[in-house]
Amino acid sequence: MAEKLEVWQGTLALMVLKTLEALGPLHGYGIARRIEQTSGDLLAVNYGTLYPALLKLEQEGHISSEWGQSDNNRKAKYYKLTRTGRKFLDREERDWEQTTAILARFLAPTGEEST
Amino acid sequence: MSRLQAFLMRLAGTFQKEKTEYAFSEELEGHLQMHTDDNIRNGMTADEARRNALIKLGGVEQTKEIYHDRESLPALDIFLQDLRYGLRMLRKNPGFTAVAVLSLALGIGANTTIFTVVNAILLHALPVRDLPRLVQMDTVDGKTLVTQAKAIKLGMSVPNFKDYRRENQVLTDLAAILPTPLTWSGGAEPRQVQGELVSANYFDVLGMRPALGRFFMADEDTKPSGNDVAVLSYYLWANKLGADPGIVGKSLIFDARPYTVIGVAPRGFKGTLTFLSSEQVWIPTSMKDQILGGKEKEFFDDRRALTMLTVGRLKPGVEITAAEASLRTMATHLESEFPKDNSGRSVALTP
């Protein structure tokens, strides 16, 4: 596979929320690295695109932020999931699973169609 | 709900740009430092590490820009920028600003004026003979505050009206009108209608033919309290009296006094003041004591009290400017004759 996949529209938010759910409060850089690692380096995350997504989630009340110190004493803004964010994540996750399940049925080879 | 919240926050963000921009610069700087630290730990040189972090970020300024677009409402933001720019330019060029504002004011003013005239002449065209020869005559007062308020259409007092009517050389005739509300009883319940006390020559000056019956005769305004006749507007007759073809000769009660209906005005005639109701009654001025009350009655014959509106018809071949000049000469005579009442007063004609 020569090229890495772009992050699909709308899925970045879900990845961010899931990351925050798994790891607790985290700064932007940490979230970006985590998404990259989890995807097995298949996704090319332009780190810059992460911040508008974080801002949007914060404006919508799904995450909140506060300033703190990183492990090696760098100033960083830490994001964490809010209660409405948690609920939102649950709902999004269910929707996403349903969507992929439906798609999977179309993509799975069936007896009649396979030659 | 969360969308509304986001919208409000972006709206707020539009107005506190500097604060949030600074905060984001710091956040980005932190991000780059952490990334650089990690890269160095992985064996890069300091320069290389920093460059790699920048590349992975996708450019500081680009990121800031996308971030800012999300932070505020770009459309509103751009609009505010334009607005600020516009105001700055206007302040820089006061001359240009003055010209622009004046042009706008004049344009709007002229438009309004033209519409008023068009409205009066075309939309409410009076069904009268030779409309351009009709003029409204008003008192102009150079001494009192009213003039300074540019209220030049001041009407006319009854004694002055009589003098102008009798002695002028430029008008075929001059009629006087005094709008007043009337109580019409005798129907199911009393109702108010728009009335006008008019000199008997009113319909002649306007040059109209009645739709039914006749108009006032020349001497029908001379005998005080003795001319209890009325002309109805077409609309009053059609809307409130069922267009009764035998209305002429019948009696209607206005302000508790019976008046004999002598005629109905033509369709389309809504009175001299187009902003009043089109359902009207005309009664000769000689009935003033029965119709008017209070101050209007008290001052009716006062030379200083501008109670009447006057409408005249220019004599053939007389231009309005010449007529006005002639009437102004008369006004100076009247001023010296009645210095107390007519002090500072002259007249003006309006087509």
Residue B149 has pLDDT above 60, yes or no: no
Q: Does A8 touch chain B (CB under 8 A)?
A: no
Q: Read off the pLDDT of each residue in B289-296 and give the average, rounded to a whole number.
A: 72
When pLDDT is averaged across residues B325-346 and rounded to a whole number, the result is 76
A55 in contact with B, Cβ within 8 Å: yes
- With a CB cutoff of 8 Å and minimum separation 6, the contacts of A73 are none
CB B286 within 8 A of CB B222: yes
Higher pLDDT pick, B306 / B259: B259
pLDDT at A90: 92
Give the residue on A whose Cα is nearest the Cα of B31: A29
Q: What integer is the mean pLDDT of B283-308?
A: 76
User: What confidence category does residue B169 fall into, taking pLDDT thresholds of 50, 70 and 90?
Assistant: confident
> What is the pLDDT, as a whole number, of residue A82?
92
Nearest by CB to residue B2, choosing from A52, A60, A70, is A60
Residue A8: name the closest of A55, A44, A52 by CA. Answer: A44
Going by C-alpha positions, the residue among B282, B205, B190 that lies closest to residue B236 is: B282
Task: Give A112's pLDDT tier (boundaries 50, 70, 90).
Answer: low
Instruction: Give the mean model confidence (pLDDT) for residues B189-216.
Output: 85
* pLDDT tens figures, A8-30: 667 888 899 999 999 989 998 89
Q: Look at residues B197, B204, B202, B247 and name the one whose alpha carbon lies nearest to residue B227.
A: B197
Would you place residue B200 in the very low, low, confident or very high pLDDT band (cuts 50, 70, 90)? Answer: confident
**Interface list for chain B against chain A, based on CB atoms closer than 8 Å:** 2-3, 5-6, 9-10, 24, 26-31, 33-35, 37-38, 56-59, 62-63, 66-67, 69-71
pLDDT band at A114 (very low <50, low <70, confident <90, very high): very low
Please determine, for residue A79, whether its predicted confidence score (pLDDT) is greater than 90: yes
Beta bridge mates, B261: B230
Domain range summary for chain B, segments of one domain joined by +:
2-92, 131-350
* Token duo for residue A41: 């380096």
A85 vs B contacts (CB less than 8 Å): none
* Inter-chain CB proximity A72 and B35 less than 8 Å: no
Please report, as a single letter, which amino acid is at residue A15.
M
The DSSP output letter for B223 is S
Closest CB to B10: pick one of A30, A59, A70.
A59
- At B147 the pLDDT is 47
Q: What is the pLDDT of residue B276?
A: 63
The predicted model gives B234-243 an average pLDDT of 86
Q: Using an 8 Å CB-CB cutoff, list chain B residues near A84.
A: 2
Residue A14, CB-side half-sphere exposure with 13 Å CA sphere? 13
Task: Calculate how close chain A gets to B19, using CA atoms only, in Å.
Answer: 15
Distance from C-alpha of B124 to C-alpha of B274, rounded to nearest angstrom:
7
pLDDT tens digits, one per residue of B225-235: 778 889 988 88
To test the contact with chain B by mutation, choose from A12, A51, A77 the residue with the greatest count of B C-beta atoms within 10 A, namely A51
Q: How far apart are CA B159 and CA B108, in angstroms?
A: 40
Q: For residue A78, which phi and psi values (nearest 5 degrees)?
A: -100, 130
Beta-carbon separation of B30 and A56 below 8 A: no
A89: chain B residues, CB-CB within 8 Å: none
* pLDDT tier, A2 (very low <50, low <70, confident <90, very high otherwise): very low
Q: Does residue A1 have a pLDDT over 60?
A: no
**Nearest chain B CA: its distance from A24 CA (Å):** 18
pLDDT winner (highest mean) among A49-58, B2-11, B151-160, B217-226: A49-58
> Which residues in chain B are closer than 8 Å to A78, comparing Cβ atoms?
none
Prediction ipTM score = 0.77
Percent of chain A with pLDDT over 90: 25
pLDDT of residue B351: 63
Supply B110's token pair.
């002229």
Burial (CB < 10 A; 0-12, 13-18, 19+), residue B69, is middle
Distances from the Cα of B200 to the Cα of B229, B284, B288, angstroms: 11, 6, 13
Q: Is A69 on the interface with B (CB under 8 A)?
A: no
Residue of B nearest to A63 (CA): B2
Q: What is the pTM of this model?
A: 0.47
Which pLDDT tens digit goes with each residue over B15-45? 776 677 788 888 888 888 888 888 898 888 8
pLDDT at A86: 92
Average pLDDT score over chain B? 80
pLDDT band at A83 (very low <50, low <70, confident <90, very high): very high
pLDDT tens by residue, B57-114:
888 888 888 888 887 787 888 888 888 888 888 888 888 888 888 888 888 888 877 7
Looking at the domain that runs over A11-107, which CATH code has it been given?
A: 1.10.10.10
Average pLDDT, chain A: 83
Q: Would you state the pLDDT for residue A9?
A: 60
**What residues of chain B lie within 8 A of the CB of A34, using their CB?**
none
What is the mean predicted confidence (pLDDT) over B217-223?
A: 80
* Mutation target among A59, A63, A92 for the B interface, most CBs of B within 10 A: A59
Q: Does A74 touch chain B (CB under 8 A)?
A: yes
A/B interface, count of CB pairs below 8 Å: 75
Rounded-to-integer distance, Cα B50 and Cα B216, Å: 104
Out of A48, A55, A70, the one facing B58 most closely (by C-beta) is: A48
Position B144 confidence tier, pLDDT thresholds 50, 70, 90: low
CA distance B246 to B209: 18
Q: Which of B4, B17, B22, B27 to mutate to test the interface with A (most CBs of A within 10 A)?
A: B27
CA-based nearest residue in chain A for residue B63: A48
Point out the residue among B9, B34, B67 whose CB comes nearest to the CB of A52.
B67
